Amino acid sequence: MQPARKGRPLKLANTNVKEYNPQVSNAKSRLTWLWSEYSVIIAFIIIFIASSIMNPRFLDINNQLNILMQVSIIGIVALGMTVVMLSGGIDLSVGSVLALVGVMTVLALNASGSILIGIFTALVVGSFAGFLNGLMVAKGRIASFIATLGMMAAARSIALYIAEGGSVSGEVNGFTAIANNDLWIFDYPVIIFFVMTALVYILMHKTRFGRYVYALGSNEKAAMLSAIRVDRIKIAVYSLAGLLVSVAAIIETSRLNSISSSSSGVQYELDAIAAVIIGGTRMTGGRGKIIGTLFGVLILGILNNMMNLMNVSPYLQGFVKGLIIIIAVVFQKRE
């Protein structure tokens, strides 16, 4: 690119630039920087080490793989949630949409007998629900909390209606392979989760879409005045979240070859939001990292796993999770 086309350099009298030099910063401020940038990773390492000391079974490779398997579905949902929250919104409909997508997928699967058509249906239904969310938020100017709350109720209701309140099961051989086969030691869901993480990471940090989402979440008016088509980006953000929900729904359905219209996906939105918040994404948008969400998901997974290993009553597990979320937010405020 030839810079010269834009104009000639201006020579100005006062060129003795006095600036802040980060190289001379002392160890303490470097430590603060390290903490503020990577606090979630540091927290992860602390929790990991603490867990391995507290229970020797924790480090067992099968247990580790089990944790990964258990977090993969919420992890994929949380990736989409991260993007939505970076844009300054929130998506409460993910759990219900997951159930709806699951039901529709099984119906399409059974009707066509083709796994491909089943997957295709899932992706279309999920991203269409997300698209509707985006439309309400961007064009209808409805607060995302309200719009997706409406979608949460509506999607669950349709799923219940179609499945008549019960579960639907797949009748096509091979569909269960998606969630239950493995490659070397990794289950497919874990691989899918990591691939999705990598893709969303690239999307958010290496493409204009990601840049625009950060800009929009940080300052919507300035983004608009920078000639960004804010409405389109918002619609794309919610559609992407819906698409990721359908990937999660495919895994969820394939795992037991069935989906429950009443209990599948319940409270997934809370777990996903918790992972995103623990991962350091700011509630109001504009700041946060995909990598943070990955570690947020892993922290939640380890906590669940440890509570099971240590025979903590399942009724108390929600309490611990709630505590962790609040502590994470308190630490964020400190910055």
For another protein, give the closer residue by CB, 74 or 290. Answer: 290
In a 13 Å sphere around the CA of 74, the CA atoms on its Cβ side amount to 26
DSSP symbols for 216-265: HHH-HHHHHHTT--HHHHHHHHHHHHHHHHHHHHHHHHHHHTEEETTTTT
**Strand pairing report for 167-169 and 258-260:** antiparallel
Q: Compute the least distance from the CB of residue 289 to another protein, in Å.
A: 12
For another protein, give the closer residue by CB, 21 or 26. Answer: 21
Q: Compute the least distance from the CB of residue 21 to another protein, in Å.
A: 6
Distance of CA 204 to the CA centre of its chain: 12
Assign residue 113 a region (left: φ > 0; alpha: ψ between -120 and 50; beta: otherwise).
left
Q: Compute the least distance from the CB of residue 171 to another protein, in Å.
A: 40
Q: Compute the least distance from the CB of residue 237 to another protein, in Å.
A: 16
For another protein, give the closer residue by CB, 3 or 56. Answer: 3
Interacting residues with another protein (CB under 8 A): 1, 3, 6-10, 12, 14-15, 17, 19-22, 202, 206-208, 211-212, 214-215, 217-219, 221-229, 286-287
For another protein, give the closer residue by CB, 218 or 262. Answer: 218
> Are the C-beta atoms of 167 and 259 separated by less than 8 Å?
yes
CA–CA dist 330, 227 (Å, integer): 36
Q: Compute the least distance from the CB of residue 87 to another protein, in Å.
A: 12
Residue positions counted in the chain: 335
For another protein, give the closer residue by CB, 109 or 236. Answer: 236
